[in-house]
Every structure is written in structure tokens, then in C-alpha cells.
Amino acid sequence: MVADHFHIEPGKVEALSADFHSAAVTLGGQITAFGSKAENVNDAFGVLAESTDALQKYVTMTQATVVSLQQLQAQLEGYSQALATTVTNYQTADQHNSRRLAV
């Protein structure tokens, strides 16, 4: 019965894992660049008290955005690692089953 069998193509899953890893690395660099530049707005909000409040809200929002992006980066890397583990586990089980059936 087909439903009793599970098959993956390790090369394709490894390629997907590599894509997630690459996206995480790229995003990491972009987060670093964004985080170092986004808060550097000089006097864009002015020097009045209201401007200081607006600047503080902007900085808080920017910091929250950086944290969220870092969490996204970690999630992408987690997907990459999980897919790599899936391939390893699949290949180990496949080898075990092949040996068992060969006996």
C-alpha cells in the first residue's frame, strides 16, 4: 500500500535547507545594517518636546522591528537545521531498512 511508504529526495530537501540558511544569513546582514542606521535620524523629528516624544516612539518601534527580524532570522535557520536533520534521519532509516530487507 502506497500510504505505508514514505519517500523524499534528499538532494532536493538539502537544497531547500541551503536556501533557508542562505536567506537567514542574508537577512542577518540586512538586520545589522538596518539596526545600525535606522535609529540615526539626527534632528529629523526636530528639537521640541513633542519631537523628542516622537523620536522615542520611533526608536522603540525600530528596536522592536530589529528584535522581530532577528526572530525571523532564527526561525529561518531553524527550518534549515530541521530539514538537514530530516535528511540525515531519513538516510539513516533508509540504510537500516535496506540492511534489514537484504537479510
Q: Which residue would you say has higher pLDDT here, 60 or 4? A: 60
Q: Which grid cell is 34?
A: 538596518
Find, among 6, 15, 10, 18, the residue nearest to 86 by Cα.
Answer: 10
8 A C-beta contact, residue 66 and residue 31 = yes
For the stretch 13-68, pLDDT in tens is 999 999 999 999 999 999 999 998 887 777 666 666 677 888 889 889 999 999 99
Write down the pLDDT at residue 99.
Answer: 86
Given a cut of 50, whether residue 1 has pLDDT beyond it is: no
Whole-model pTM: value is 0.80
Write down the pLDDT at residue 45.
Answer: 65
| Residue 103: band (very low, low, confident or very high) from pLDDT cuts 50, 70, 90 | low
